[in-house]
Amino acid sequence: MEDVAECVNIKANDFESLSSFVKENNVDLTFVGPEDPLVNGIVDYFEDRGLKVFGPRANAALLEGSKAFTKEIMKKYDIPTAKYETFTDFEAARAYLEKQEMPIVLKADGLAAGKGVIIAQNLDEAVNSAREMMLEGKFNNAGSTLVIEEFLEGEEFSLLALVKDENVYPLQIAQDHKRAYDNDEGLNTGGMGAYTPVNHLPQSAIDEAMEKVMKPMAKAMVKEGRNYQGILYGGMMLTKNGVKTIEFNCRFGDPETEVILQALQGDFHEICTDVLDNKTPEYSFDDNVYLGVVMASTNYPESSTKGVLIENINAKAPEIFHMGTAKKDGKYYTNGGRVLFVSGKGKDIKEAYDNAYKRVSEIKSEALFYRHDIGFKAMKGE
Ligand code: AMP
Ligand code: GLY
């Protein structure tokens, strides 16, 4: 970014220094990226000081901050989602699990960087995962409250929208790849690759997600006195019984955003300002397919690496996004779980795939792995 922007080293949770910087530099709009500061109230802090900021307040960011809260709202307002129960007592969770069909889904209530979901194939696995989350502090106690929900089958898509109160402006849908390895094997991750648009899913599924999930949720939040503003990320599953909600995030999805924003036509600053000012924003999407691949540290999501050299990276290529790299003396090193997002565009999914993977194959590092099948569902579906 340093080639096109001035990078300032202030931590995302240091609201005081951030707001001082914004005031001193007459920044007219702050766009908040990550969930942590949103859940911790950065928007409330900025608004209290008269600063314009795009993102949900803490009482609305809870849609990502607490899965139990979100499930409750969905139940109350009849928003389609998987059946569930919430537990704070391990023995009660175990007793419940013993009566459920497998596979079953266990979700840590709090923030866990996209990793707090376990799909257990059998009772042993389910009970062990519940124990780890509830009693042994896995995911930093985000799992001391546990949501156990029905396993849904179907195809996933991500519907992100700009929201202000009851106004919901959708972006083009994308498809993430949550599992670590090819063929959707391995643990859940923050996301291993994405593409947009998702042409093999019918428009009726997108319409249904808008009418039954996104708009009702925006309305529900107004009714609850928790008016939403900012990006609302809806994780959807198209099941044989219609569209069901998997989760909400209170921010842009990663890596969906890296492909969606490449397709977006319009002035992003103006779009956000218009949404905040209750004006209909002007934007559209181009005709290309964008596809990108995450290159992650070998043991991600169980661990990450720091300081392993990445060679042959065309760091300035706009198609390459730095998720977790560190730069030293002009060279790049791994610095996290998900390290690079390497994308390509094309007139169709195949061309986008070829362009992205050509770039991936040029990058060399001992520490990195990636999936080879990003976009395969679309290629089969077309
Ligand atoms: P979440 O963090 O809630 O999005 O869950 C991460 C991933 O786990 C999702 O993207 C799905 O692939 C999977 N998942 C979550 N909930 C369910 C469910 N009820 N049924 C099947 N898969 C699920
Ligand atoms: N890619 C899913 C997320 O950002 O949570």
Q: How does DSSP classify residue 214?
A: I
- Residue among 158, 232, 251, 338 whose CB has most ligand 2 atoms within 8 A, to mutate: 158
DSSP bridge partners of 175: 195
Establish whether residue 256 lines the binding site of ligand 2, counting it when its CB lies within 6 angstroms of any ligand atom. yes
Establish whether residue 156 lines the binding site of ligand 1, counting it when its CB lies within 6 angstroms of any ligand atom. yes
Inform me whether the pLDDT recorded for 1 exceeds 70.
yes
Closest residue by CA, ligand 2 atom 4: 253
| Res 258: pLDDT | 97
Q: Contact, 314 vs 211, CB < 8 A?
A: no
Establish whether residue 36 lines the binding site of ligand 2, counting it when its CB lies within 6 angstroms of any ligand atom. no
Establish whether residue 147 lines the binding site of ligand 1, counting it when its CB lies within 6 angstroms of any ligand atom. no
At residue 305, what are phi and psi to the nearest 5 degrees? -125, 160
Which amino acid is located at 32 in the chain?
A: V
Q: Which is the closest atom of ligand 1 to the Cα of 107?
A: 3
| Res 91: pLDDT | 93
Establish whether residue 176 lines the binding site of ligand 2, counting it when its CB lies within 6 angstroms of any ligand atom. yes
Establish whether residue 229 lines the binding site of ligand 1, counting it when its CB lies within 6 angstroms of any ligand atom. no
Distance CA 56, CA 250 (A): 7
Q: Contact, 334 vs 325, CB < 8 A?
A: yes
337 C-alpha to ligand 1 centroid (Å) = 20
- Residue among 111, 233, 294 whose CB has most ligand 2 atoms within 8 A, to mutate: 233
- Burial (CB count within 10 angstroms: exposed 0-12, middle 13-18, buried 19+), residue 336: middle
| Res 2: pLDDT | 82
| Both structure tokens of 79 | 């928003």
The predicted-structure confidence for 7-28, as pLDDT tens digits, reads as follows 999 999 999 999 999 999 999 9
Prediction pTM value: 0.93
Closest residue by CA, ligand 2 atom 2: 253
| Res 297: pLDDT | 97
Element (H, E) at 310: strand 305-310
Which amino acid is located at 306 in the chain?
A: K
Q: How does DSSP classify residue 17?
A: H
The total of other beta-carbon atoms located within 10 Å of residue 46's CB is 22
Q: Alpha helices of the chain — where are they, by DSSP H?
A: 15-24, 35-39, 42-48, 58-65, 67-76, 90-98, 123-134, 203-209, 215-223, 256-263, 268-276, 349-362, 376-381
Q: Which of 40-54, 93-107, 139-153, 303-317 has the highest mean pLDDT?
A: 40-54
Per-residue pLDDT, averaged over 360-372, amounts to 96
Query: Which ligand number lies closest to the CA of residue 292?
Result: 2
Rounded-to-10 torsion of CA 120, 126, 130, 131: -130
